[in-house]
Amino acid sequence: MTAEEMRQQIEAAIREERVMLFMKGTPEQPRCGFSARVTAMLNALGVDYAAMDILPDPQIRQELSAVSNWPTIPQLFINGELVGGCDIVTEMFESGELAGALGVKQPEINGASGGDAAPAAGQPLPLHPPT
């Protein structure tokens, strides 16, 4: 696949999928702690999302960074717009802004009242399903 074809595939995924996550690994088997955290947050919110593993071909990461102008992985897009990487998504999740952007209810985080820090990368998010 040429660089241009790869870029077109990435742009199409961003445009066509309401929630698109570029990550290391898959939602079922994340291959880095940051990707695992973002998938855990999306799963906790109960949203449907598409994901693309950037690891099989280094060209995916190169072209993705050229498209998004964002160097790190994971990268989350909502409605064709880059939200950001793990740190930004975590801040948005903790504040409830991510749930709002996705149009879903914010789950309770271990009985905490907003603002409590999320676990470190690679650690599971202590979430309770929304009531």
Give pLDDT, residue 77. Answer: 98
Q: What pLDDT shows up at residue 40?
A: 96
Q: How far apart are CA 24 and CA 21, in angstroms?
A: 10
Task: Note whether residue 54 is domain-resident.
Answer: yes
Is 62 within a domain? yes
Low-confidence ranges of the chain (pLDDT < 70): 109-131
CA distances from 20 to 12, 38, 47, 69, 129 (A): 11, 11, 11, 16, 23
- CATH code (residue 85): 3.40.30.10
> Shortest CA distance to 51 belongs to which of 74, 72, 83, 80?
74
Asked if residue 7 belongs to a domain, the reply is yes
Over the stretch 52-61, which tens digit does the pLDDT of each residue have?
999 999 999 9
Residue span of the structural domain in which 41 resides: 3-104
pLDDT at 109: 64
| Number of structural domains the chain divides into | 1
In a domain, 117, yes or no: no
Instruction: Confirm whether 74 is domain-assigned.
Output: yes
Say if 118 falls within a structural domain: no
